[in-house]
Amino acid sequence: MWAVVENKLTRTFQFGSFVEAWGFMSKIALIAERMNHHPEWTNVYNQVEIKLSTHDAGDIVTKKDHELAQAIDQLLH
């Protein structure tokens, strides 16, 4: 689940393959653009680590981060 680590809402996701992980990231990219709120993330093979914080608010976790996290979680259903 999501946890706040060093002022960032953080979660790691694991998939069955690189293609699945990349597909997940592609969907998030479109959502992030629509919300004008973009993740800091790392992809290693089938793993995606996402860190959310609001730069405009001084790199702290805000409502926007929780909204994006919720939208990301919806993709898994």
Ligand X SMILES: C[C@H](O)[C@H](O)[C@H]1CNC2=NC(N)=NC(=O)C2=N1
38 binds ligand X (CB under 6 A): yes
Which residues does residue 49 pair with via DSSP β-bridges, in sequence order? Answer: 12, 42
Piece in contact with ligand X (CB under 6 A), picked from 3-11, 18-26, 32-40, 41-49: 32-40
CA-to-CA distance for 10 and 23, rounded, in angstroms? Answer: 19
Piece in contact with ligand X (CB under 6 A), picked from 4-12, 16-24, 35-43, 69-77: 35-43
Residue 50 near residue 13 (C-beta atoms within 8 A): yes
Residue 28 near residue 21 (C-beta atoms within 8 A): no
Residue span 43-62 as binding mask against ligand X, x where in contact by CB under 6 A, dash where not: -----------xxx------
Rounded to a whole number of angstroms, the minimum distance from the CB of residue 42 to ligand X is: 15
